[in-house]
Amino acid sequence: MVETLQVIAWVAGSLGALVTGCSAFLAYRSLQRQQISFQADHDRSKRALGVNLILQWNASTLSHRRAIEKTFPGLIDRQDGKIVELTKQQAQEIYTAQPGSDHFELRFHLIELLNFFEAVAVAYQHGVADQVLIDQCFKGTLLNYHGALHNFMKAVEKSRGYNAWAPYENLINNWNANDKTRRPAPDEQQKG
Instruction: Pick the range with the lowest mean pLDDT from 75-79, 91-95, 116-120.
Output: 75-79
Residue 10 lies in a domain: no
- pLDDT at 116 exceeding the cut of 70: yes
Tell me how many degrees the CA angle 67-152-109 measures, rounded to the nearest 5: 25
Looking at the domain assignment, is residue 70 inside a domain? yes
Q: Does residue 108 fall inside a structural domain? A: yes
pLDDT digits (tens, 9 = 90+) for 6-49: 767 776 677 676 667 767 666 666 666 666 665 666 577 777 87
Euclidean distance between CA atoms 98 and 94, whole angstroms: 9
**pLDDT averaged over every residue in the chain:** 82
**pLDDT for the residue 37:** 63
Average pLDDT over residues 52-69: 88
Total number of domains in the chain: 1
Distance CA 106, CA 90 (A): 11
For the cut 80, the answer to whether the pLDDT of residue 81 exceeds it is: no
pTM above 0.75, yes or no: no
Query: Is 147 within the bounds of a domain?
Result: yes
91 within 8 A of 158, measured Cβ to Cβ:
no
Who contacts 24 (Cβ-Cβ below 8 Å, separation ≥6)?
none
| Domain contains 1 | no
pLDDT on residue 19: 67
Q: How far apart are the first and last CA of the chain?
A: 95
Under the banding of pLDDT at 50, 70 and 90, the label for residue 139 is very high
Is residue 7, in this structure, part of any structural domain at all?
no
Residue 121 pLDDT: 95
Q: Are 155 and 95 in contact (CB under 8 A)?
A: yes
In terms of pLDDT, which residue wins out, 181 or 48? 48
Q: Report if residue 164 sits inside a domain.
A: yes
Identify residue 9 by its one-letter amino acid code.
Answer: A
Q: Residue 163 belongs to what domain range?
A: 45-191
Alpha helices in 72-130 (DSSP H): 88-95, 104-125
Closest listed residue to residue 164, CA positions, set 126, 90, 127, 113? 113
In-domain check, residue 15 = no
Neighbours of 156 (CB within 10 A): 22
**Run of H or E including 6:** helix 2-71
Q: SS3 string of 116-179?
A: HHHHHHHHHHCCCCCHHHHHHHHHHHHHHHHHHHHHHHHHHHHHHCCCCCHHHHHHHHHHHHHC
CA distance 156 to 136: 29
